[in-house]
């Protein structure tokens, strides 16, 4: 597999379709089940953001997801047609007592993405926004990597 | 999608869906206000949870805490244990082992 493209309407129902495809692609690429789970969650979050914040749930506007191989990395690009004023805010830490009391659960998705993949990039243009994620194919499981001093 | 086992002060809420996401989290939120003094969410059938699903769980936890109730999780997969720890969800919803749940229910 060198490149797989999927286009979905901006409806969260279809995020589930992307998720199923991501699992299969991850397995075909030889990722461990734990890395497949990390990849699937990261792609789920990026696609949900594109649907919600990029295309603002306009069903007739599509989100594109492109999986490709670049050297020893899997690259996933999630492309929407929106124009946010600025990139979404990335949460600096997990949940706190204060956040819980205030009901402030924003930014969890991006926080998770940054924890789960090796590299993230956000770019914007006249055509829309592209959120790109890189995962090393032969990297050890995320948990094992983070436990290594 | 949700089955509630009510034992008075203890309730076990079995989440009977493989996916807790933006679509299914709404059903969990509908159970806000139905917690018991000790409420255990059973994740045995859950294969996927994203941030929208976590937000739904948090709304349930916040509602339970306002009533002075405690929420626990059981049958959490290793991947979801990692995610819960990553976002610090396990601080607010500690994970029980199945034998600890059995003790609670005995």
ipTM of the shown complex: 0.93
**pLDDT, position A148:** 44
What's the CA dihedral at A45, B61, B20, A114 to 10 degrees?
20
Taking residues B10-32, what's their average pLDDT? Answer: 94
Confidence of residue A1 (pLDDT cuts 50, 70, 90): low
Taking residues A32-54, what's their average pLDDT? Answer: 96
Residue B79 CA to residue B74 CA, distance in Å, equals 14
In the predicted model, is pLDDT for residue A15 greater than 60?
Answer: yes
Identify which has the larger pLDDT, A148 or A68: A68
* Cβ atoms of B67 and B39 closer than 8 Å: no
Q: How many CB pairs under 8 A join A and B?
A: 68
Confidence of residue A149 (pLDDT cuts 50, 70, 90): very low
Taking residues B54-65, what's their average pLDDT? Answer: 96
- Which residue do the tokens 């129902």 mark? A13
Taking residues B31-60, what's their average pLDDT? Answer: 96
* Cβ atoms of B89 and A95 closer than 8 Å: yes
Three-class SS state of B81: helix
Taking residues B22-26, what's their average pLDDT? Answer: 92
The chain-wide mean pLDDT, for chain A, equals 89
| pLDDT (tens digit per residue) in A51-90 | 999 999 999 999 999 999 998 899 999 999 998 656 667 7
Whether residue B86 and residue A34 make contact (CB cut-off 8 A), yes or no, is: no
In the predicted model, is pLDDT for residue A146 greater than 60?
Answer: no
Contact status of A115 with chain B (Cβ, < 8 Å): yes
Chain B residue at shortest CA distance from A41 = B50
Within 10 angstroms of residue A67's Cβ, the number of other Cβ atoms is 22
Residue B54 is nearest to which of A16, A19, A108, comparing CB atoms?
A108
Residue A95 is nearest to which of B21, B79, B87, comparing CB atoms?
B87
Whether residue A16 and residue B61 make contact (CB cut-off 8 A), yes or no, is: no
Taking residues A15-24, what's their average pLDDT? Answer: 97
In B1-106, alpha helices (H) = 22-29, 51-66, 78-86, 89-92, 98-105
**pLDDT, position A143:** 47
Percent of chain A residues topping a pLDDT of 70: 88
In the predicted model, is pLDDT for residue A28 greater than 60?
Answer: yes
**pLDDT, position A113:** 97
**pLDDT, position B19:** 97
Residue B59 CA to residue B64 CA, distance in Å, equals 9
Q: Which residues, in sequence order, are CB contacts of A16 under 8 Å at separation 6+? A: B19, B21, B23
Contact residues on chain B for A112, CB-CB shorter than 8 A = 50-51, 83, 86-87
């Amino acid at each position: 597999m060198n490149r797989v493209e999927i286009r979905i309407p901006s409806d969260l129902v279809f995020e589930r379709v992307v998720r199923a495809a991501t699992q299969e692609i991850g397995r075909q690429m030889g990722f461990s089940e734990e890395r497949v789970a990390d990849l699937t969650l990261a792609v789920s979050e990026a696609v949900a953001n594109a649907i919600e914040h990029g295309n603002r749930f306009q069903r007739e506007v599509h989100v594109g997801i492109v999986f490709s191989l670049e050297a020893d990395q899997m690259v996933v690009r999630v492309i929407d047609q929106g124009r946010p004023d600025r990139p979404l805010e990335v949460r600096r830490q997990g949940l706190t007592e204060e956040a819980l009391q205030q009901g402030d659960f924003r930014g969890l998705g991006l926080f998770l993405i940054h924890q789960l993949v090796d590299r993230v990039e956000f770019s914007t243009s006249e055509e829309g926004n592209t959120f790109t994620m890189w995962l090393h194919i032969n990297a050890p499981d995320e948990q094992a990597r983070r436990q290594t001093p | 999608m949700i089955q509630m086992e009510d034992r008075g002060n203890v309730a076990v809420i079995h989440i009977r869906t493989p996916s807790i996401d933006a679509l299914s989290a709404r059903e969990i939120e509908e159970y806000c206000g139905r917690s018991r003094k000790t409420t255990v969410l059973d994740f045995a059938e859950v294969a996927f949870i994203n941030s929208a699903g976590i937000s739904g769980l948090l709304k349930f936890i916040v509602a339970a805490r306002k009533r002075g109730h405690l929420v626990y999780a059981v049958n959490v997969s290793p991947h979801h244990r990692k995610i819960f720890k990553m976002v610090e969800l396990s601080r607010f919803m500690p994970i029980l082992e199945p034998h600890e749940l059995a003790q609670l229910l005995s």
